[in-house]
Amino acid sequence: MMASNNGQHETAGRIRYGHRDDDHPEVSIVFSGPCESNAIELINPRNASKVGNLMPKTLACIHTSMVFVNVETMMNEIFKEVMPDVRRINIVDDSLLADVMAAGHITPAAAKRMCKYVEAAEQTGADAVLSLCSSLGPAIDAARKLVSIPVIKIDDAMTEEAARRANRIGVMATVATTLGPTVDLIRSKAEEMNKQPHIEPVLVDGAFQILMKGDKEVHDRMVIEAARRLAKEVDLIVLAQASMTRLVPTLSDTTGLSVLSSPRLAIEYTQKLLATLPDPRSN
């Protein structure tokens, strides 16, 4: 593993890390396939001699595809806006979502990998973990029991807002394995409010694969048309994947409905949670 002091990422095998800039260090650990946690060279952010100046809080983000790394990069801008002083560790396994999609469900092996990454995040010294994958949401329920730090699902805040605001909710996804976990999470949040909303799930089949190939225009057209049809049946639309966030203004204008996406809600919720935690420098 090789460190980068100039803002560029260096690679060695399957692991990569670097710094966003001198004042805002950022670490990325990247896997191209399954990897046990004991194969990771862990970097504790409390150790300033290795990773630069300490920041007040450290957040570990777990990615299960490259969509937020090199396709839809808007989340980086939201992070910079909402939590500019929070140091981020990115743990990326770009094969995990693909494996779940191929199987059609979360396999025991996939769940174990996600749990390993959450444990690895805690070992780096992260104050909290944000899972950026809706499909692996149920695995996070198991992972939470293995660590002592908060573990947040990207859809936690969004699904709570949807349950609070509407009784007829449309859920749109471009990955089949995302629909079930998102619908289940909305129902769970609604039950906590003693509500039983009608939920209409819609899969825009094939759109995600088209997006990952770089054809945003075709992807967007498919999603917009599906939203137009769904709008006739619901009062609010939930985008089950953050990869569709860019389309929120267009979908809202097209359908005349409120459209919720997870990134900003999740990041704002995470920032509020981090603000309640003790300063790591006092440990």
Query: pLDDT tens, 168-196?
Result: 999 999 989 889 999 999 999 999 999 99
Any idea of the CA torsion for 242, 243, 244, 247, to the nearest 10 degrees?
Answer: 110
Residues 38, 117 contacting (CB under 8 angstroms)? no
pTM higher than the cut 0.95: no
Q: Which residues contact 60 (CB under 8 A, 6 or more apart)?
A: 88, 89, 90, 91, 121, 122, 124, 126, 128, 129, 130
Token pair 């950022």 is found at 26
Structural domains of the chain, ranges and CATH numbers in brackets: 10-153+265-282 (3.40.50.1860), 156-261 (3.40.50.1860)
Phi, psi of 95 (to 5 degrees): -105, -10
Which residues of the chain, if any, have pLDDT below 70?
1-55, 67-72, 280-283
Q: What is the mean pLDDT of the chain?
A: 82
pLDDT of residue 283: 53
Q: Is 15 helix (H, G, I), strand (E, B) or coil?
A: strand
